[in-house]
Amino acid sequence: MTRPHTRRPHRRRTFGAAALIAAGLTAGALPSVAGSAGAAEIPQQARDAASEGLKEVFFVGNNWEGTADVINSRGDYAKIGRINMIPDKKERLREIYLNPVKLAFFLGIRLGPGEGHDQYVDDMYTTKDGKSVVASRPSFADVVSIDVESGKINWRFPVSGFRSDHMAVSPDGTQAAVSSSTSNTVHVLDMATGKEAGNFKTGDKPHENVYTDGGKYLWNMAIGEVNTDMDAPWQDFTKGDRRITIADAKTLEVKKIIDMRERLDAFGRKDLSDALRPVAFTPDESKMYFQVSFFNGFVEYDVHNDRITRVKTLPKNPDTSDERTTYVNDSRHHGMSMSPRGDKLCIAGTMDDYVTVVNRETLQEGPLVTASKPYWATVSGDGKHCVVSESGTDQVTAIDFATGEKVISIPVGDHPQRVRLGHVPAGWTGPTTG
């Protein structure tokens, strides 16, 4: 395949100190996870029909710009409005520049995961009433709630450490879990007040968070160090403690730790990294699919039997270098979602510049749809399309689950990453201020 788009240059720099030896991980039975359908993709409060007076929408986080575009969640995906996610930018920058330690990490984020840019909005979810959007802001190391009507901040929670990352919202929409990258901590916050309900420790550089079993458990995937050039297989020991941590979502007591290194080795794939990137569960949560660093493909994991069952290698773009240090944050492929019926997987081939829909039974991929640095994949409100963020060309693109073909692309802001379903008041067109 050819790539018609010009890729933005990606710069790699060292950021932070990597742990040198992975910690030993515990064994034991997995918690039961039979439960809510599609928990990895769409939280219950977003899957439910919108309450009277609310409109279901997509929030698109424009990470480098510090805005969120609000677009239709199905149909024409037209833009409805835009929210400034950093109305307090001057105040935050003043704090950072007056604190040498905070400044060092702020610049480190810019030169490392930010690829030369500040990271202003990573993840976001709306409250059940559609009045506020709660978002993580990596460069400001915090989580904020912003009123969608006024554009003003309702509350702000500074995370421990110096960088906030991926979030998840509980199925009932009352709590948000956010990863704090540099303190190896997941904070669980009250969506309405921003008060911390508790936290738990994870492996190095916690990343993806997923609620399972109707909100009974909270899974965190730690990806380890991804911002160094020590990417050769023999240097894997420098990447730190990469593991899955499963906590009781109510007590936040850690119930299980899964070391995927052991499972990958047992399957005969010692060549694959054990740094889990995005994941997707089947509707009955019996299987989990996940991407790993440096790999153009994904892995199938049997949750109940605690073992890897299949590995799928996807096509390489001939224009993509095999030099690992050229991959953005070690992620050759980053982004996956599952159709509501559980029969199709949508895969974002980030460094290979394509998106493809895969038959989950046969693992046969469909057409390779050209996309520029696709960074995330989710599901449309009606379940018909996979919606991906093309961070290389500042647009979101819908792919038909049934045909695997492109449906439409919509321009958004600078470097879109996370795309999440949510709600806003009916007739909303944007904040009155900010």
Does a structural domain hold residue 324?
Answer: yes
pLDDT(434) > 60: no
Does a structural domain hold residue 229?
Answer: yes
pLDDT number for residue 290: 97
In the chain, the N- to C-terminal Cα span, in Å, equals 43
pLDDT(304) > 90: yes
Whole-model pTM? 0.89
Range name among 19-33, 297-311, 327-341 with the lowest pLDDT average: 19-33
pLDDT digit string, tens, across residues 77-127 = 999 999 999 999 999 999 999 999 999 999 999 998 888 999 999 999 999
Does a structural domain hold residue 16?
Answer: no
pLDDT digit string, tens, across residues 195-209 = 999 999 999 999 999
Identify the domain containing residue 237 by its residue range: 44-425
Does a structural domain hold residue 334?
Answer: yes
Helix or strand holding residue 280 (H, E) = strand 276-281
pLDDT(5) > 80: no
Partner residues linked to 137 by β-bridges: 142
Residue bearing the bigger pLDDT, 394 or 235: 394
Radius of gyration, alpha carbons of the chain: 20
pLDDT digit string, tens, across residues 371-390 = 999 999 999 999 999 999 99
Q: What is the largest CA-CA distance in the chain?
A: 57
431: closest CA among 181, 69, 148?
148
CATH number reported for the structural domain that contains residue 320 in this entry: 2.130.10.10
The two tokens of residue 91 are 């105040």
Does a structural domain hold residue 313?
Answer: yes
pLDDT(50) > 70: no
pLDDT number for residue 235: 87
For the chain, what is the domain count?
Answer: 1
Taking each helix axis from N to C terminus, what angle separates 100-111 and 89-97, rounded to the nearest 10 degrees?
A: 110
pLDDT(432) > 60: yes
pLDDT number for residue 98: 97
Residue bearing the bigger pLDDT, 11 or 85: 85
Report residue 232's pLDDT band, with 50, 70 and 90 as the boundaries: confident
Does a structural domain hold residue 240?
Answer: yes
CB 219 within 8 A of CB 202: no
Does a structural domain hold residue 87?
Answer: yes
pLDDT number for residue 233: 87
Mean pLDDT of the chain: 89
Range name among 235-244, 307-316, 418-427 with the lowest pLDDT average: 235-244
Does a structural domain hold residue 8?
Answer: no
The two tokens of residue 122 are 């990573």
